[in-house]
Amino acid sequence: MGKVQAVKNERGVVKLTKKKILTCAIALTFIVLIKIVFSPINFSDKILESTHVNISYIRTDLINGQPTQYLSDYSFDVKSEKFHDVINLLKTYSYHRCFESFKGNAEIKGNTETLIISFYEEPQGVSELYVIANVPNIIVGQTVYRVGYWGNSTSNRLFNEFKEILDIE
């Protein structure tokens, strides 16, 4: 098998070497992967047909050295103003894949506050979203994604806006 060399033909066109072809293939693969990972996904894709939303707020405090959990549940149907507040809030945010998205382990090491938002759709069933305070990652369905690109500020803003809708201090 002969080596391909960069040789100009009579029209001045350069033939590609194996090294150039391999370099271009690697660069193209890298660009496609970056596009897949960092392309934003709209929450509205997951909640478009929702008719009901349940939200669980879980807070863990340390009392006398023992962790104590507090749970508050909220339920809103399509006729509720709060339902539309939740939907409108999520329409202003997007998320994207991150390296954890490809691990197949839908687990986030959390903080002391968690929101579990369950959207009910007919006939598909339930779509769940987990948002944890001070953590940039969220869980949508069974996959870990990231809100925002740098740091925790975007996910913290989302979390705090949910707390405002739910009147949680």
pLDDT of res. 6: 55
- Residues 98-136: b if buried by 16+ CB within 10 A, e if exposed: bebbeeeeeebeeeebbbbbbbbeeeeeebebbbbbebb
Name the pLDDT band for 21 (thresholds 50, 70, 90).
Answer: confident
Q: How far apart are CA 60 and CA 72, in angstroms?
A: 12
Tell which wins on pLDDT, 169 or 54.
54
Q: Per-residue pLDDT for 140 more than 60?
A: yes
What would the mean pLDDT of 145-159 be, rounded to a whole number? Answer: 81
Strand bridging mode 41-42 / 66-77: unpaired
Which amino acid, one-letter code, is at 23?
Answer: T
What would the mean pLDDT of 11-27 be, rounded to a whole number? Answer: 76
pLDDT of res. 7: 55
Q: Per-residue pLDDT for 121 more than 80?
A: no
Tell which wins on pLDDT, 18 or 160.
160
pLDDT of res. 29: 92
State pTM to two decimals: 0.71
Name the pLDDT band for 26 (thresholds 50, 70, 90).
Answer: very high
